[in-house]
């Protein structure tokens, strides 16, 4: 089934004014913001209203899950209940978190069993666009819908600037608009780009209408897809001004098209007139309606707070830095002939057929027991990553943001602060960070099937 054959039908799923916000529980104490979220089976209409709802696993019964909002300097407390039939955890993507709250099973916590509860509580050091998602068998649990947006605001942030969060995903559906479950675990997907979908949604709807008043608006785009790098543009061709990447403010610059790898976020500043503005998705080469921004009648807005353009921290001096070489190999049409797995060197064919492993770091199939480096608190480190494969990879470091001379916006390169970087085939990149957060931190590809098939390792900071 081709993705375009689904989406080009031009089906519209009705008006959608805003994402659903989780209801905060009574405050425990000053500065603590509390939420309660349950993961459970649920159904939602991803396709036309006259077709069956899709059976999913969801947080709070909605796709995406409830919008969590808080303010920098607060503590966030989320009481989580697992009403699924399988173990799971919640990862707070992009948060420079406490290690015990990072949500990686068998590394930072035990998986939360069916019927069990777990309370996540951690300080919010940074304002920005983040998200939360399942991190146990993420290749399946994300594809079933376990994710949501987390927006942390500045304490003095004014309400004058319109602020809209758009969570995009591509789903792999069958003819009955149900998840294509037979393809879960497909080695064809795992050895190529990952599990690509054929049906696009924004905020859980197909080509939704988003009311927008005339004037400036901040669009927070989040890519929640398993593997597809999405690409967005305004149908009018008007430029979009990037003001933040992966939560961190940046020196503003303009683009006509923005590519978002899985897990990446971008904050855009745009100006809208009354009428219809169409946000298109063009990753397949065909323009697909992603969302319709419909001009609202209200045009008077209060003066808003000036958007910060300074990253959370400056690029550190790398003189004397700890350089960690990471040679990425594997996948279809790659050059990996064999790799070390569980103490034994095996040919790639055996790794694939017997263990569903297809990728390696430095000749070792990655996992939570693969220690990439041991750093001391405060060290400056350089992850020197060489993508020696035929595929793009969205490389994500837990618990930290890193500086990278990004080629994502053109060949000239642009120094940006990110937590997830999209690496081109054959590219070598230095990911520079300060090891200022103690614990065991995962570094992995956020094409979820690549991670499951061996593309990951752990950095220890003590």
- Phi–psi pair at 397, nearest 5 degrees: -110, 125
Beta-strand ranges (E) seen in 214-332 are 215-223, 230-234, 240-245, 248-255, 257-260, 265-272, 276-281, 288-296, 322-330
Token pair recorded at residue 95: 């948060």
Q: Hey, what are 368's tokens?
A: 């939570």
What CATH superfamily is the domain 167-296? Cupredoxins -  blue copper proteins (2.60.40.420)
| Domain-wise residue ranges, the chain | 12-153, 167-296, 322-461
CA distance 157 to 71: 9
Q: Any idea which fold 322-461 has?
A: Immunoglobulin-like (2.60.40)
Residue 185: helix, strand or coil by DSSP?
Answer: coil
Q: How confident is the model at residue 71 (pLDDT cuts 50, 70, 90)?
A: very high
DSSP state of 88: B
| 182 secondary structure, DSSP code | G
DSSP for 347-368 reads EHHHHHHHH---EEETTB---T
Residue 214: DSSP 8-state: S
pLDDT digits 0-9 by tens, 333-381: 999 999 999 999 999 999 999 999 999 999 999 999 999 999 999 999 9
Cβ 35 vs Cβ 79: under 8 Å: yes
Dist. CA 368–CA 454, nearest whole Å: 10
Q: Over the stretch 122-160, which tens digit does the pLDDT of each residue have?
A: 999 999 999 999 999 999 999 999 999 999 999 877 556
* pLDDT band for position 12 (cuts 50, 70, 90): very low
The reported pLDDT for the residue numbered 300 is 46
Q: What does the pLDDT read at residue 22?
A: 65
Model confidence band, residue 19 (pLDDT cutoffs 50, 70, 90): low
Residue 5 has pLDDT above 80, yes or no: no
Domain range 12-153, CATH class: mainly beta
Query: With 80 as the cut, is the pLDDT of residue 308 above it?
Result: no
Length of the chain: 462
**Interval 34-46: pLDDT, tens:** 999 999 999 999 9
Q: Tell me the C-alpha distance between 59 and 35, whole Å.
A: 12
Residue 330 and residue 239: Cα distance in Å, rounded? 38
């Amino acid at each position: 089934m081709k993705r375009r054959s689904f989406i080009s039908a031009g089906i519209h799923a009705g008006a959608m004014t805003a994402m659903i916000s989780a209801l905060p529980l009574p405050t425990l104490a000053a500065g603590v913001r509390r939420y309660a979220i349950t993961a459970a089976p649920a159904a939602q209409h991803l396709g036309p209203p006259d077709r069956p709802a899709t059976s999913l696993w969801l947080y709070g019964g909605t796709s995406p899950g409830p919008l969590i909002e808080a303010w920098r300097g607060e503590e966030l407390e989320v009481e989580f209940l697992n009403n699924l039939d399988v173990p799971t955890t919640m990862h707070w993507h992009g948060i420079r978190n406490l290690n015990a709250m990072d949500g990686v099973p068998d590394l930072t916590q035990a998986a939360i069993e069916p019927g069990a509860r777990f309370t996540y509580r951690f300080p919010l050091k940074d304002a920005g666009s983040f998200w939360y998602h399942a991190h146990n068998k993420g290749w399946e649990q994300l594809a079933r819908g376990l994710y949501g947006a987390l927006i942390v605001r500045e304490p003095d942030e004014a309400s004058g600037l319109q602020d809209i969060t758009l969570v995009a995903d591509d789903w792999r559906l069958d003819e009955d608009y149900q998840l294509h479950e037979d393809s879960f675990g497909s080695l064809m997907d795992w050895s190529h780009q990952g599990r690509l979908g054929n049906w696009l949604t924004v905020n859980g709807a197909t080509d939704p209408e988003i009311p927008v008043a005339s004037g400036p608006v901040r669009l927070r785009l989040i890519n929640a897809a398993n593997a597809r790098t999405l690409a967005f543009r305004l149908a009018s061709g008007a430029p979009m001004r990037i003001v933040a990447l992966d939560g961190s403010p940046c020196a503003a610059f303009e683009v006509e098209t923005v590519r978002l790898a899985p897990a990446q976020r971008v904050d855009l500043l745009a100006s809208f007139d009354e009428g219809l503005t169409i946000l298109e998705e063009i990753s397949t080469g065909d323009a697909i309606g992603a969302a319709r921004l419909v001009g609202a009648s209200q045009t008077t807005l209060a003066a808003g707070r000036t958007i910060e353009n300074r990253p959370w921290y400056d690029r550190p001096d790398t003189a004397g830095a700890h350089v960690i070489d990471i040679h990425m190999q594997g996948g279809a049409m790659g050059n990996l002939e064999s790799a070390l797995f569980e103490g034994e060197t095996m040919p790639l064919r055996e790794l694939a057929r017997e263990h569903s492993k297809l990728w390696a770091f430095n000749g070792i199939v990655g996992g939570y027991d693969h220690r990439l480096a041991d750093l001391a608190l405060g060290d400056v480190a350089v992850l020197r990553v060489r993508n020696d494969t035929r595929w793009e990879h969205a490389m994500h470091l837990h618990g930290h943001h890193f500086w990278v001379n990004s080629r994502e916006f053109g060949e000239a390169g642009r120094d940006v602060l990110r937590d997830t970087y999209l690496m081109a085939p054959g590219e070598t990149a230095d990911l520079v960070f300060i090891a200022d957060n103690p614990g065991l931190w995962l570094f992995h590809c956020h094409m979820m099937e690549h991670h499951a098939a061996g593309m990951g390792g752990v950095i220890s900071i003590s």
